[in-house]
């Protein structure tokens, strides 16, 4: 490149920078800030998960093993408030609901299950909580509330158990035909190798007659 050509290139670059340099700088800065934010978020998530794991074992585990309703509720509340964005929070709430129900605190169990439904970041946790809460509502004879909870189209992995739960609620209401339809859907949805679940559903179908 000749000296003249080099000077032209420099002048062209100066002109381009005068027109676009400021905007380019801001774009580069924005990208750098976004990358820094993303890395910071990932670091924060990893730290939160590690701290939640440390809190789950032994604090939550000990509270669950104690069977003390106050300890269980306190441990679950601490996990949910401090580490609600991690998978350990819905795991804790589900375990706490089971322990509270076993301890005779149905209201407390329902609160924990509702927390999972409202706050769990993963659909799987939310669906499990809905199924368990529907079973509690079945015991309380709150059939319509249970059916409303299980309404909608579940993911394929839960189609069988949701249909089975709906069948139980409908059968308890005396809606035999609708219950039979739900049980048949459940039977179709469970894999062939899940013989125990299929046998139980078939028993329910046979009990309905028709």
Within a domain: residue 130?
yes
Q: Would you state the pLDDT for residue 62?
A: 95
Asked, for residue 67, whether it belongs to a domain, the answer is yes
Whether residue 7 is contained in a domain is answered as: no
Residue 28 within a domain: no
pLDDT at site 29: 47
**pLDDT digits over 44-94, tens only?**
468 888 899 999 989 999 999 999 999 999 999 999 999 998 999 999 999
Q: Judge whether 24 lies within some domain.
A: no
Q: Model pTM?
A: 0.78
Distance CA 47, CA 75 (A): 19
Find, among 59, 51, 43, 68, the residue nearest to 92 by Cα. 59
Contact between 119 and 100 under an 8 Å Cβ cutoff? The reply is no
Note the pLDDT of residue 40. 47
Q: Is residue 143 part of a domain?
A: yes
Whether 36 maps to a domain, the answer reads no
Residue 2 lies in a domain: no
Question: Number of structural domains, the chain?
Answer: 1
Can you give the residue range of the structural domain that contains 87? 58-208
Give me the pLDDT at residue 41, please.
Answer: 41
Residues in the chain: 210
Residues of the chain with pLDDT under 50: 3-4, 27-29, 31-33, 35, 37-41, 44
Q: At what angle do helices 123-139 and 159-172 cross, to 10 degrees?
A: 20
pLDDT at residue 38 in the model? 41
Residue 135 has a pLDDT of 96
Phi then psi dihedrals of residue 140, to 5 deg = -85, 0
The CATH number given to whatever domain includes residue 126 is 1.25.40.10
């Amino acid at each position: 490149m000749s000296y003249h050509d080099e000077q032209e290139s420099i002048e062209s670059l100066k002109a381009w920078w005068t027109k676009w340099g400021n905007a380019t700088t801001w774009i580069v800065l924005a990208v750098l800030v976004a990358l820094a934010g993303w890395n910071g978020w990932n670091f924060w998530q990893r730290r939160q998960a590690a701290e939640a794991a440390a809190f789950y074992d032994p604090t939550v585990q000990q509270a669950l093993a104690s069977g003390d309703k106050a300890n269980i509720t306190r441990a679950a509340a601490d996990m949910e408030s401090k580490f609600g964005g991690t998978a350990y929070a819905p795991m804790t709430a589900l375990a706490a609901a089971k322990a509270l129900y076993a301890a005779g605190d149905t209201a407390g169990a329902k609160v924990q299950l509702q927390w999972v439904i409202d706050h769990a970041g993963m659909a799987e946790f939310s669906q499990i909580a809905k199924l368990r809460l529907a079973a509690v509502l079945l015991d309380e004879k709150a059939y319509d509330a249970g059916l409303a909870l299980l309404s909608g189209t579940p993911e394929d992995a839960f189609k069988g158990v949701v249909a089975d739960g709906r069948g139980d609620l409908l059968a308890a209401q005396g809606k035999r035909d609708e219950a039979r339809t739900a049980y048949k859907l459940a039977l179709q949805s469970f894999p062939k190798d899940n013989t125990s679940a299929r046998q139980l559903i078939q028993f329910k179908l046979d009990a309905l007659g028709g």
